[in-house]
Structure 1
Amino acid sequence: MRSPLLRRLGRRRLIGLDAGAAVLYTLGLLVLPHDTGVSAALAVPLAAATGLPLAVRRLWPVPAFLAVLCASTLTLLLGLPWDSFAGAAFALYIVAITRGRRRWVPTPLIGAVSGVVILAGAIAGPVNWQAEFTGRLLLGLAVLGASWALGRVVRERRADTARSARQLADRAVSDERLRIARELHDVVAHSMSLIAVKAGVAVHVAEARPQEALDALRVIETTSRGSLAEMRHLLGVLRTGGADTALTPSPGLADLTGLAERAAMAGVHVDLEVDTGELPEGVALSAYRIVQEAVTNVVKHAAPARCLVRLQADGFRVRIDVTDDGPGVRVLPGGGGHGLIGMRERVMMYGGDFTAGPRPEGGFAVSAAFPYEP
């Protein structure tokens, strides 16, 4: 992963900048005065070999580095007063940030190449092994080491940034999948429970009480149409990325009356006690979904029954209690229980507490409490 500046420049522009810098560096080497006795016929190609390969350091990092390293070693042996290893360090930096450990040319190979060049220089002419030579050699090695270390640090930092970006993307996808699954469950489960109950009623009374069966079918029709409309709205929001969510308001506490009426059609009488005042939209939606799922569980497992829904809020914390007088022990066939999981996840999202289970005096109780910012 490159920095924003490098991404804006693009690969071609970066190569162009490298080419310009390589030419300027080569010309700078040529204009430096030197009295080592090296002829211009040798100094010019040596300067070109030291600087020009830097133009292709992004295209062929390792060959460019080796070429500059060999030329720099020769300039050191010949006593030319150039910054012999500056160009090599410039090339080594790209090698460090673009090559993984497995792809990197082994250090012994580079040492062998340098040794061959040193031997060739020794054979070609006498070398003045003085303190200045040793100092320049050690300085050059230090510059190369610093360049390599800097490149590896930059590489690791980019790798960490890329990993963090991937993790954030994966988490966003996971959260979105969970949100979609939760919303689809909330939309479908309640309506399908009512439909299942009424369909069972219609089957049992179709011959003996046809009018009651007809009423059950009307409830099924009304409930299925409402569920289908809400699902279409949800899918539309998902397609547009939520851009049009304001066009159709999300359900809130004002819709609890309609929820109670639909539950009554399935044989569950719901008493509402709501004392919350104005709640933030997200909190109101979560509270509605929790009550909806709790009432749905009563319809599925306890109907006919009475159900008490109590909501209270003090401006900082909302509490939801849903109790019924049905059977306290409920078997969830087919690996059910997704409703309880969904309610718990909604409460945990706000850092709250959630409990659900049979009551000692009979029936079932769902309790949820979570903080919110007014």
Structure 2
Amino acid sequence: MIRPLSRTALILDIIGAALLFLLLTPTSVVFYGPTTGGTVIQGTSVGAVVVAGILMFGGVAIGRLAPGLALGAAWAGALVQMLAGFGPLPIDLAILLVLYATAAWGTQRVLWLGFASTLVGGLIAAAYMVLVSGVAFGSGSGWDQLTGGVLLLIVSVLALGFAWVCGLLWRVVLRSRRTRSAQLQAESVAAEEQERVRIARDMHDIVAHSLAVVIAQADGARYVAATKPEMATEALGTIAQTARGALSDVRMLLTQLRHRQGDGPQPTLADLEALFAQVRQAGVEPLVTVDPMPPGEPPGAIQLAVYRILQEALTNAIRHGDGTVHVHLSWLPDRVDIEVRNTVVGDAPAAGGGHGLIGMRERAQLVGGSLQAERRGAQFVVSGSLPIAASADLGLGQ
């Protein structure tokens, strides 16, 4: 029965209803009051108009707060008006405003109660004016009265129905606004979730690769520390350099996550040599073949995807390989084909599991490509194909 409504809105409704009451009630008494009868009848009539006005405009005051109660108050005021013998009065404007409120802000039940009120109220108003108020048409014959009564019924229903339909249209507008607001909120949540997934994927790629290099260098330094201290020192330098690079990248990602800033500098094909150097320092020799070479400058999204896929594949080779990994890139006019294979030592990651393998597939899918990672005999093979033209057409190179 009671809707949530701000205090400001309720105060404005009450003030508006009070002003209409103060304006229309005296007008109803002065211009529509009875001109015959004694003082008692005159006083009773004025009191009835005032009571009817209070009930009707009281309904207007709570129209947005409680449309159902407002409709009941409007009906009570109309009954008081008819019992006092009055026909249509200026204060009846309140009935139109209440019907508008039932259609605009009422519950489903109140909405249809308002619609029923337009039909029943129109019928009662027409019958009252013909039978009680004595409104005559033409010669006053039965046929003229019937025709006039039907005309009054149509006019009454149209007047009341117009207010109800206007409220219904505003209800549709409000519902459309709520739907649009919910849609925008859902899109915002989805965009934020995609951004979190992207940052998490970048974080995994950076941290996993860096830690794999650090672990490999630390193990090597431990083995050679006693016999070749200079190699241990070199390994420690590599560890420090790798950790600093990873820390810088992680700080950039955390800044994006905290402040919703745009993407920072992303790896490109020019950074692949540094990636291969890190892998060599970790004790794995990448045998790289690029045939054919890139035809021009590939889109930025393709360069990033190639870098991240190779980074994760090489990280897996460091963890599970025998020290050698074969990398083959084929830059065709419409796509780039990637293949990374290494001999497996121990247990290789499952073809469908692990965040790294999932991240590689997501990288490929983001640019419209595909990727497979599976064990073939003694080798683990990562192969993928990324469309270049589709990525450029979608504007993914930014």
Q: Smaller-chain TM-score range? A: 0.7 to 0.9
Question: Quick check: 347-356 or 279-288, which moved more?
Answer: 279-288
Aligned twin of 2:77:
71
Root-mean-square deviation (CA, aligned residues, Å) is: 4.1
- Say whether residues 1:177 and 2:196 are aligned partners: yes
Aligned twin of 1:251:
267
Aligned twin of 2:57:
51
- Say whether residues 1:269 and 2:285 are aligned partners: yes
Q: Quick one: which amino acid aligns to residue 12 of structure 1?
A: T
Question: Quick check: 138-147 or 296-305, which moved more?
Answer: 138-147
Aligned twin of 1:3:
none
- The CA distance in 1 between the partners of 2:256 and 2:301, in whole Å, is 16
Distance 1:17 1:308, change over 3 A: same
TM superposition shift of 1:239: 2.7
Distance 1:229 1:91, change over 3 A: same
Matched-pair contact (CA < 8 Å) for 2:218–2:239: yes
- Say whether residues 1:90 and 2:90 are aligned partners: no
- Amino-acid identity (%): 30
Q: TM-score, normalised by structure 1?
A: 0.74
- Residues 1-374 of structure 1 correspond to what in structure 2 (within 5 A)? 12=8, 15-16=11-12, 19-20=15-16, 23-24=19-20, 27-28=23-24, 31=27, 33-34=31-32, 39-51=45-57, 53-75=59-81, 78-82=85-89, 87-95=94-102, 97-98=104-105, 100=107, 127=132, 131=149, 138-139=157-158, 142=161, 146=165, 149-150=168-169, 153-154=172-173, 156-242=175-261, 245=263, 249-270=265-286, 271=288, 273=290, 274-312=293-331, 314=333, 317-327=334-344, 331-332=348-349, 337-359=354-376, 362-370=379-387, 371-373=390-392
Distance 1:89 1:171, change over 3 A: farther
TM superposition shift of 1:183: 1.5
- The CA distance in 1 between the partners of 2:281 and 2:195, in whole Å, is 34
**Unmatched 5+ residue regions in structure 1?**
1-9
- The CA distance in 2 between the partners of 1:73 and 1:352, in whole Å, is 74
Q: TM-score, normalised by structure 2?
A: 0.70
Distance 1:188 1:81, change over 3 A: same
Distance 1:223 1:146, change over 3 A: same
- The CA distance in 2 between the partners of 1:36 and 1:137, in whole Å, is 23
- The CA distance in 2 between the partners of 1:186 and 1:304, in whole Å, is 20
Q: Quick one: which amino acid aligns to residue 281 of structure 2?
A: M
Matched-pair contact (CA < 8 Å) for 2:103–2:167: yes
Look up the SS of the partner of 1:326 in the other structure: strand
Which of structures 1 and 2 has the bigger CA Rg? 2
Look up the SS of the partner of 2:344 in the other structure: coil
TM superposition shift of 1:73: 4.0
Q: Quick one: which amino acid aligns to residue 290 of structure 1?
A: I
- The aligned length equals 347
Look up the SS of the partner of 1:81 in the other structure: coil
TM superposition shift of 1:210: 4.1
Distance 1:173 1:99, change over 3 A: farther
- The CA distance in 1 between the partners of 2:308 and 2:14, in whole Å, is 60
Matched-pair contact (CA < 8 Å) for 1:89–1:144: yes
**Unmatched 5+ residue regions in structure 2?**
1-5, 36-41, 135-144, 394-398
Q: Quick one: which amino acid aligns to residue 342 of structure 1?
A: G
**Which digits, 9 at most, give the CA deviation of each residue in 1:189-227, with x for residues without a partner?**
110111122222233444454444333333222211211
Q: Quick one: which amino acid aligns to residue 200 of structure 2?
A: A
